[in-house]
């Protein structure tokens, strides 16, 4: 299963996949060709049109999604609907024929300003198109806090879910931010949780879990 890990401070990257020593031992070296990622959809209240910028590196081995308005907040100046924001990314990851991949780690970064008594939550889940969604992984925050934050979700090697061989299945990432005033006074204070960016890097071998697809007749 995917395990949550959380820390505050330095920025993080969203690692699109993660390397499995067992897979390497079974199937040898990863495919030598470049891996291409197409971002096919960016939807949600946390990333409305024009507020999310998707950039793919020139060598097609990394991507970055930058948000300019992904903020959940409660208190002075906030609307009731601002307490929860979400965003869904739909990714088409192209891999060389004969191989498939699993997603084993996802990292996020942002900023939190929570009044004493207020709480925040960052959560995410992941699934391939047409397959069952995973459970949401939750990362709670408690005020008082005024700092950058970083969270990570990782998957045990024996629980990796691979993309179906020979089929085009978009990989979906659902994220959500929530803020609750708790015992703080929302008539006098404002608490917020913001997502700065989601970065993906699939260039480093350590970040992949590769598996060869069975040959016809096997």
Tell me the pLDDT tens digit for each residue of 61-89: 677 778 889 999 999 999 999 999 999 98
Residue 190 and residue 79 in contact, taking contact as beta carbons nearer than 8 Å: no
Q: Please give the Cα distance from 89 to 173 (Å, whole number).
A: 5
156 burial class (0-12, 13-18, 19+ CB within 10 angstroms)?
A: exposed
6 burial class (0-12, 13-18, 19+ CB within 10 angstroms)?
A: middle
DSSP secondary structure string for all residues of 97-142? TTEEEE--EEEEEEEEEE-TT-EEEEEEEEEETTSPPPPPEEEEEE
Predicted TM-score (pTM) of the model is: 0.77
Q: Please give the Cα distance from 210 to 199 (Å, whole number).
A: 20
Tell me the pLDDT tens digit for each residue of 29-49: 556 677 777 888 889 999 998
Q: Please give the Cα distance from 18 to 107 (Å, whole number).
A: 12
């Amino acid at each position: 299963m995917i395990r949550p890990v959380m820390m505050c401070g330095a920025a993080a990257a969203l690692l699109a996949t993660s390397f499995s020593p067992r897979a390497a031992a079974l199937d040898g070296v990863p495919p030598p060709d470049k891996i291409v990622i197409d971002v096919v959809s960016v939807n949600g209240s946390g990333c409305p049109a024009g507020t999310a910028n998707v950039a793919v590196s020139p060598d097609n081995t990394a991507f970055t999604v930058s948000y300019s308005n992904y903020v959940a907040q409660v208190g002075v100046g906030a609307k009731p609907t601002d307490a929860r924001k979400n965003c869904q990314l739909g990714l088409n990851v192209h891999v060389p024929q004969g191989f498939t991949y699993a997603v084993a780690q996802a990292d996020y970064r942002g900023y939190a300003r929570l009044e004493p008594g207020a709480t925040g939550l960052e959560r995410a889940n992941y699934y391939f198109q047409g397959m069952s969604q995973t459970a949401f992984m939750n990362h709670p925050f408690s005020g008082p806090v005024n700092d950058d934050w970083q969270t990570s979700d990782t998957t045990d090697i024996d629980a990796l879910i691979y993309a179906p061989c020979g089929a085009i299945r978009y990989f979906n990432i659902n994220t959500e931010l929530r803020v609750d005033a708790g015992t703080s006074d929302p008539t006098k204070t404002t608490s917020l949780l913001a997502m700065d960016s989601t970065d993906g890097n699939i260039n480093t071998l350590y970040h992949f879990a590769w598996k060869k697809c069975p040959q016809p007749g096997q």
